[in-house]
A and B are shown apart, each in its own frame.
Chain A
Amino acid sequence: MANHQNGNTASLPFPKVKKASPFKKAMFHPFIVGSILPVILIIVWEALSRAGVIPAYQLPSPTAIVDKIIELAEKGTLWGHVGITTYRIFLGFLLGTAAAVIIGSFVGFYNRVEQLLDPMIQAFRSIPSLAWVPLFILWMSIGEASKVALIAVGVFFPVYLNIVSGISGVDRKLIEVGKMYGFTNFQLVKRIILPASLPSFLVGMRSGLGLGWMFVVAAELMGASQGLGYLLVVGQNTYSPDLIIASIVLFAILGKVTDALLKRLEYKALHWQDRLERS
């Protein structure tokens, strides 16, 4: 130690350059790190269930839940439930987004339309959307239409708000570049305003989708004969917590998958934003 301190660095042994081995790199992959806690939790849960600490009639073990999902799949009913729920989300999301794009664009582009419509839309927004349920059922009975309408209402607001703020937030300086080229209003919209507000539109779509999943549960709880939300009700009525948790797990998986799809779209459409970060 002593002769290392007298400044004669040349005599120092080469510092051991630590290179992360491929194994170590894989160990610290964010995905692995993020999985540590859930995996531990599931193991503890399973162990407690097997030891009989948690009674199965309240919280069945993870394996029992997986068994339940497999059982549903084998019976063939699972696909029907998953399918109808996905179909409702898809349709509601499409309608809500389309309405938001059309109305949001007009409100964003034209001050007059904003003055006319925005206060009313903001007022509607402050109504908790679930309050619409009885009215929708009254109008459209308990069939598909009322469910899809409810989901569409849930999707509409976040998409609408983001489109309006995206459009009104477009840098006027960029618009002037187009004006210098003698662009028509339509060209300005298509070539500058829409691309520039795309990031905030995509943010709106993702939070709209999240709300859509919330509303599909609500819609299916209120009265349905099929769907994951219906399975929740069945689980409650038949005292089968395994069925309830199995539905919750399926909701989680579907929600994650659809969000990942949108995220991919976002990444593809906005790659110009974070090329710097990646390289």
Chain B
Amino acid sequence: MSLMVKNVTRRFNGNTAVKNISFQTYKGEIVGLLGTSGCGKSTLLRAISGLDEGYEGEVSLNGNAVRNVNTNASFIFQEPRLMPWLTVKDNVSFGLSEKKQEKGLKAERYIELVGLKGYENYYPLELSGGMAQRVAIARALVTSPELLLLDEPFSALDAFTKMQLQDLLLKIWSEYRSTMVLVTHDIDEALYLCDRIIILTGQPGVFKQEFVIEEPKPRRRGSQQVAAYKERILKCLEL
């Protein structure tokens, strides 16, 4: 799915959170929105998702302007946001409207994909943070979204779990080639996953610069080419 964001501005009671952001993504591309905390990344992603409709400007999917939630898009939040009263399996199939058996089969397939086979009947309270986030990933994927929106999905996890889930995300991407918009404040994460990185800075957040990362994926963490990009991005962020 191609996404186009045109002159999006979002004000909250007169305070501007993001100002005049425009960019587009092509089908199957992973685009990173990178910026310091508070520069409006989440605000922008919520506008794209349709969860927030109070923005100015235009968001189009496949060339059609949209304002409300589009069921071809899925959102992975920073927290897993699982329904605590449902098992892993029921959480994964939560948004499906098919018959029970079909839902179950689909859920099982995606539970296996995220490496949680055997945990179908666990409740969220019994899962570690990493496992819970895997469930959230399975739940987002089960509707076969063409656009995946991720808001710092791994930032609450420890370094090792984080790397595992980044690899999982790449595996999913190579299998399904869904378009992704990844909000992050982690430069290494952006450089590991994204085809293109859009830098936002300031308050209100404005577009600063765009980096096209031409390294083929999967990339080696901490390779020289990646380090060179990192230096340029740091310079751009004036850190």
Contact = CB atoms under 8 A, between A and B. Distances in A.
A182 interface: yes
B74 interface: yes
A192 interface: yes
B218 interface: no
Contact of A272 (B73, B81, B84): B84
Interface in B80-122: 81, 83-86, 94-95
Nearest to B71: A182
A177 B94 contact: yes
Nearest to B68: A182
A173 B83 CA distance: 10
B125 A275 contact: yes
A273 B95 contact: no
Nearest to A279: B126
B133 interface: no
A181 B95 contact: yes
A181 to B, nearest CB: 3
Interface string B51-85: 10000000000000000010101110101010111
A273 B71 contact: no
Interface in A257-279: 270, 272-273, 275-276, 279
A174 interface: yes
B125 to A, nearest CB: 5
B48 to A, nearest CB: 12
Contacts of B143: 181
Contacts of B9: none
A174 B139 CA distance: 13
B79 A179 contact: no
Contact of B85 (A177, A178, A179, A195): A195
Contact of B79 (A173, A195, A279): A173
Nearest to B83: A174
Nearest to A275: B123
Interface residues of A, number: 21
Given A173-B81, A272-B84, A273-B84, A180 B49 contact: yes
* B contact patch SS: loop
Interface string B110-148: 000000000000011110000000000000000100000
Given A177-B94, A180-B74, A276 B84 contact: no
Interface in B141-180: 143
B85 A272 contact: yes
Contacts of B74: 180
Contacts of A279: 126
A174 B95 CA distance: 12
Contact of B125 (A176, A181, A191, A273): A273
A272 to B, nearest CB: 5
A176 B53 CA distance: 13
A228 B206 CA distance: 74
B69 A192 contact: no
Given A272-B125, A275-B126, A180 B84 contact: no
Contacts of A275: 123, 125-126
A275 B75 CA distance: 29
20 contacts: A173-B77, A173-B79, A176-B51, A176-B81, A177-B77, A177-B94, A179-B51, A179-B69, A180-B49, A180-B75, A180-B95, A182-B69, A191-B94, A195-B85, A196-B83, A272-B125, A275-B125, A275-B126, A276-B125, A279-B126
| Minimum-distance CB pairs A-B, first 9 | A181-B95, A272-B123, A182-B71, A180-B75, A272-B85, A195-B85, A177-B81, A173-B81, A276-B125
